[in-house]
Amino acid sequence: MTDQSSQDRVLIFDTTLRDGEQSPGATMSHDEKLEIAEMLDDMGVDIIEAGFPIASEGDFRAVSEIAERSKDSVICGLARANAKDIDRCWEAVRGAERPRIHTFIGTSPLHRQIPNLTMDEMADLIHDTVSHARNLCDNVQWSPMDATRTEWDYLCRVIEIAIKAGATTINIPDTVGYTAPEESASLIRRLIETVPGAGEVVFATHCHNDLGMATANALAAVAGGARQIECTINGLGERAGNTALEEVVMALKVRNDIMPWRTAIDTTKIMAISRRVATVSGFPVQFNKAIVGKNAFAHESGIHQDGMLKNPENFEIMRPEDIGLAASSLPLGKHSGRAALRDKLENLGFDVGDNQLKDIFVRFKELADRKKEVFDDDLIALMRVGEDAA
């Protein structure tokens, strides 16, 4: 079993293959799902939410095969609050070395209207469905969907019921990305202090990014006592997406001084899986995305390039190798300075003296004013023209 006892360990629950795939247009093929699951397992993800088995025959097959092929990760499937969903989910995950059933129901006033249940009727249903799941599997996660808009007293009541019925993980979803970081921390802290039996289970945080606060909210929840972060690669997910795995993992690594919790993720595998998920989902990563964006380790301005050449720590708080990237890049453009131009020319095999550099620099700037980026071939051409003129 994953070690949940030590207080500084945070479990990483990846839901790229379930919540991530729910992004309109992000559907992945069977083989692509198996490949991503294998990469997640290899990089040290503790729990992989592999899909929603009742949703389709294809999802059922994907979850079943991921379960059978799993190595170290717990394999989890999602199920609504009814026996048919839960049975189907169990059928799909039971082949895993470490299976988990994740069952949920919307508990906020708005979401309670969907099945049209009274508070008491919903509480009974939660008891019955969590008990049913626990009779099948000893690892059961329960989520009150839209928890952050659920009345406090009712939230405490239903969580207590789920724990008594056998849930081993209680996930607190911020389904519509409504929470702010301080609320996120205090909600988890107060739940752990208030709900009887809370000390016996793992509390999880599941944040959506509608206001751009998913990463901050997830980290705040950990400060409040959550010990499982639910996230996706590249932050893929419904609407504005979910908490990005690479962001929370690197934040915990880089700022371990103020956030003293650790994950089991091999961060050097981040870049490869980010690129693969972007390809198979068809969702490109924005250039300035934290950690995995094309520009996350790129520096164009003269001052930054000069600083980078003297000491990368001047402008980088983590090393590119930490996420599996070969090196930072110093793309040449109109903001670049002499130091980066000289460095690039030297790398291309040109040994330029100060006077020659001055001359090339003028022509380089003329070109850079016309082009967004000056590539190696452009520089080689510039050098040739210079040689012909000499």
Contact status: 20 vs ligand KIV (CB under 6 A): no
135 is in an annotated binding site: no
Contact status: 14 vs ligand KIV (CB under 6 A): no
In the region spanning residues 166 to 225, those forming contacts with ligand KIV, defined by CB under 6 A, are 171, 173, 175, 206, 208
Q: How far apart are CA 67 and CA 33, in angstroms?
A: 12
Q: Least Å distance between CB 296 and Zn ion?
A: 25
**Binding residue for ligand KIV (CB under 6 A) from 62, 145, 170, 201?**
145
Residues with Cβ within 8 Å of residue 209, at least 6 apart in sequence: 177, 215, 235, 237, 239, 240, 241, 242, 243
Cα 356 to Cα 362, 375, 376, 382, distances in angstroms: 10, 19, 18, 12
User: DSSP of 306-332, one letter per residue?
Assistant: HHHHH-GGGT-SS-GGGGT-S--B--B
Residue 169, strand partner residues = 141, 202
Residue 140, strand partner residues = 101
Could you tell which of Zn ion, ligand KIV, none binds residue 104, using a CB distance below 5 to 8 A set by kind?
Answer: ligand KIV
Q: How far apart are CA 243 and CA 322, in angstroms?
A: 20
Size of the site for Zn ion (CB under 5 A): 1
Query: What DSSP designation does 374 have?
Result: B
**Binding residue for ligand KIV (CB under 6 A) from 108, 143, 168, 209?**
143
Quick check: helix, strand or coil at residue 77?
A: strand
Q: Least Å distance between CB 19 and ligand KIV?
A: 5
> Which of residues 70 and 175 has its CB atom nearest to ligand KIV in the complex?
175
Contact status: 49 vs Zn ion (CB under 5 A): no
Could you tell which of Zn ion, ligand KIV, none binds residue 143, using a CB distance below 5 to 8 A set by kind?
Answer: ligand KIV
Contact status: 32 vs Zn ion (CB under 5 A): no
Contact status: 227 vs ligand KIV (CB under 6 A): no
377 is in an annotated binding site: no
Q: Least Å distance between CB 23 and ligand KIV?
A: 12
* Residue 6 region by backbone torsions, left for phi larger than 0, else alpha for psi between -120 and 50, else beta: beta
Return the amino acid letter for 171: N
In the region spanning residues 61 to 120, those forming contacts with ligand KIV, defined by CB under 6 A, are 104
Quick check: helix, strand or coil at residue 168?
A: coil
Question: Which residues are known binding-site members?
Answer: 19, 206, 208, 242
Question: Which residues are known binding-site members for Mn(2+)?
Answer: 19, 206, 208, 242
Binding site for ligand KIV (CB under 6 A): 19, 104, 143, 145, 171, 173, 175, 206, 208
